[in-house]
Chains A and B, each alone.
Chain A
Amino acid sequence: MATLTTGRAVAPARARPRGSAAERWIDRNLRWLLPGPAVVTLLLLMVFPLVYTAYLSLHEWYASSVLGPQFVGLQNYVQLFARDERFWPAFVTTLVFTAGSVILTVVLGLGIAHLLIRVFPGRGLARTLMLLPMIATPVAMALVWMTMMSPTIGVLNWLLSCVGLPPSAWVSSPRSVIAALLLVETWMWTPMTTLICLAGLAALPGEPFESARVDGASSRQVFWHVTLPLLRATLVVAALFRTIDALKVFDIVYVMTEGGPGFASETLNLYVFQTSFKYLNLGYASALIVVFFALIAGASLLLIRVRRSAW
């Protein structure tokens, strides 16, 4: 305690004799100056666009219009919630897709991680191969899946016919398109959840497992009553990442269906893209983005709260 006080008292005394007034000013304000550039960059790159988007969302503005943005108050939001025939379907599609994607990738990821954590010959190779779908470029993979799902020449329908099943329309029917997209999404993103679960499993302490086994628990009981509770925080993190990613899904849907057939697979992100970059309707797109942002922020906060309670 004593040393600490003297330390504080002595430091400015030592700095005073040397240096000009500017140097002393810098010295005094170092804690503001050093993070300054980072804070300014953050403000410029993140806060400004956000605020500007919110500002634009209260205006009507087409990028090709001769006039600048016209203030319309909350009209964009009224239109969006009350009259837009594409918003609510896109909203529901986004939620359904996200729920499906999170559940499938987390459950499969946990299962596969559980297999890969065991010691067996070729484990390194298996782990590497497992990661491949995640490394590949989503657009290229979406095109490959498109070819495989082609109703006339695709290999998937041929495989179905080999086991005596009727052909599927895959992404070419409003009824099956979401399931088909979820198949691709799951294939592409399960490796990520596997990786997270593997890390979580590897970091678990050994003692609870040993004592459980000494107490005669079956491996199923160990999984449900020891592994899962211990892994809860990890699983929530995996779900959080996947939720944010899946809510924002764009590449595979855009490449494979462009939101079709009709608007059957149009997600919010895709609708925002069409509105801003194809229709050049920037005011309305901004309103959509604000709602979309609120949705993602809300979902993230919810999951973070779940994670806190898990500690």
Chain B
Amino acid sequence: MPTPRRSLIVVLLIAVLGAGFAWMVADPRPATAQAGFDWKRFSGKQVRFLVNSHDWTNEIIRPAIPEFEQLTGIKVAWEIYPEDQFRQKLAVEMVSGSGSVDGFMSLTSWDGLRFLKAGWYEPMEKYLSNPALTGPQFGFDDFFPNTRQIATVNGQLIGVPLYPEVQLLYYRKDVFKAKNVAVPQTMEEWEEAAKKLTDKPNNFYGFVSRGKRSAAVYTLAPFIFNFGGQWLDKDGQPALTSPAAVKGLDTYGRMLRESGPPGVVNVHTYEVVDLMSQGRVAMASDSSNWVSSFENPAKSKVAGQLGYARIPRGSAGSHTPLISWAISVSAQSKNKEAAWYFVQWATSREMVLRQAKAKIPVARESAWKSPEFQGSLPKEWLAAFQASLPDGYPNQANPVVVAVPETRDVIGAAIVAVIEGQPAKDAAEKAQKAVAEIIKKTQ
């Protein structure tokens, strides 16, 4: 039974809250009335992002968050997790449906279809086309067209791409010169060069790329594409037994078996970088990201001796997977506009330029062409990357299906089998069956 004093307190509390609410509602803040873009429109809101650990999340965005909070009055929680834990944490929070996550990152080649089917992505188009929500300076056109495709899943724009990567051929200029070998332009020349440069008695090998189960699927991709193959056919069924795919698998396995280092079936991307940096191999194909590490004399014995080229072309040209993490607004968020404000700011011209200055590849043309970025990385690398970009296949690091990890594991097992000497046709048929089964079960 409330005493008179207690009811007085309750009445007062309600009055104060009511007044505050009335003040908030009455606050006149017409976005269009201002000359510039109204960054303060969602002042007082809070947004929470779950993100994957990367130089961009740790060193570019995290220290700059106070600037955003000052600019907009929006409080930001920026929660960084290593990749595997990040996915587990995100899944748990999203499945609970609590709406406590306002935005997240995703690797669209890996997570895209699964997240889309689960309904986690807020479609981005309507935010971009609304001048009250997107400032005129943002300029989505500034992003390379092909990178915008990375953030497009099943025709739906689901976010903004962050730091794109293609695959490149890394080669040792000094070794090529000493052995008088030309930089390979075609798949045939590539295999030839790998053989010629291998010197097993001296523990030196012509070519290395990933041989470890799931990881190897990414570096196998250009071999399939360049002979004219694809991961999936028009109906979304696996196309691993097409002549082009079998030829790609066969070539990849043979090159690693004959010209690769021993134990290549345990080589992940880190081992590729080690073998190259330690001067044990003449050529490597892997993600374009590794340039800074190769050119760092503290980490690399071959700094300054590396050349960079496009992946050699096959009968269908030269195509590498073009992938990137993207940042998205959660469909479950209760503060979608505020979360979009943060995404817009984090991928603005100015922030992307900051990213370029830190030598992290960028998806914005303006930042890519900035003198700071152009001057900070080897010319050859820049040229090879930019040439690969328009021919890159967005998100095709693996078949874009719902269950990517399972699918990569079974295709990876086929790669290992071929490296170990099994006929490519048999391995491809087995993988084809397994992938078809996975798609049937999960889609």
List the one stretch of B91-99, B142-150, B152-160, B382-390 in contact with chain A.
B91-99
Are A278 and B266 neighbours in the complex by a CB distance under 8 Å?
Answer: no
A178 to B275 Cα, complex, angstroms: 25
- Let me know if B406 is at the binding interface, CB within 8 A: yes
Cβ–Cβ < 8 Å partners of A64 in chain B: 91, 94-95, 114-115, 118, 120
B266 to chain A, nearest CB (A): 5
Cβ–Cβ < 8 Å partners of A171 in chain B: 263, 266
- Let me know if A150 is at the binding interface, CB within 8 A: yes
A64 to B118 Cα, complex, angstroms: 6
- Complex partner residue of A153 from B92, B114, B278, B416, CB under 8 angstroms: B278
- Let me know if B417 is at the binding interface, CB within 8 A: yes
Please name the 5 residue pairs, one residue from A and one from B, whose CB atoms are nearest each other, closest first: A172-B263, A151-B263, A261-B265, A151-B262, A262-B416
Are B409 and A169 neighbours in the complex by a CB distance under 8 Å?
Answer: no
The answer to whether residues A280 and B212 also contact, given A64-B115, A151-B261, A262-B413 and a CB cut-off of 8 A, is no
- Let me know if B213 is at the binding interface, CB within 8 A: yes
Q: What per-residue 1/0 map shows which CB atoms of A54-73 lie under 8 Å from chain B? A: 00000000111110000000
A263 to B118 Cα, complex, angstroms: 30
A63 to B114 Cα, complex, angstroms: 11
Are A172 and B265 neighbours in the complex by a CB distance under 8 Å?
Answer: yes
Cβ–Cβ < 8 Å partners of A260 in chain B: 212-213, 265-266, 416
- Let me know if B280 is at the binding interface, CB within 8 A: yes
A83 to B, closest residue via Cβ: B437
Are A63 and B213 neighbours in the complex by a CB distance under 8 Å?
Answer: no
Chain A positions within 8 Å of B, measured between CB atoms, are 62-66, 85, 150-153, 167, 169-174, 257-263, 274, 277-281
Cβ–Cβ < 8 Å partners of B117 in chain A: 66
The answer to whether residues A169 and B262 also contact, given A66-B119, A152-B203 and a CB cut-off of 8 A, is yes
The answer to whether residues A85 and B434 also contact, given A64-B94, A279-B406 and a CB cut-off of 8 A, is yes
- Complex partner residue of B413 from A170, A257, A263, CB under 8 angstroms: A263
Are B261 and A152 neighbours in the complex by a CB distance under 8 Å?
Answer: yes
- Complex partner residue of B91 from A63, A85, A173, A274, CB under 8 angstroms: A63
A65 to B420 Cα, complex, angstroms: 37
Are B266 and A261 neighbours in the complex by a CB distance under 8 Å?
Answer: yes
A94 to chain B, nearest CB (A): 18
- Let me know if B88 is at the binding interface, CB within 8 A: yes
A41 to chain B, nearest CB (A): 24
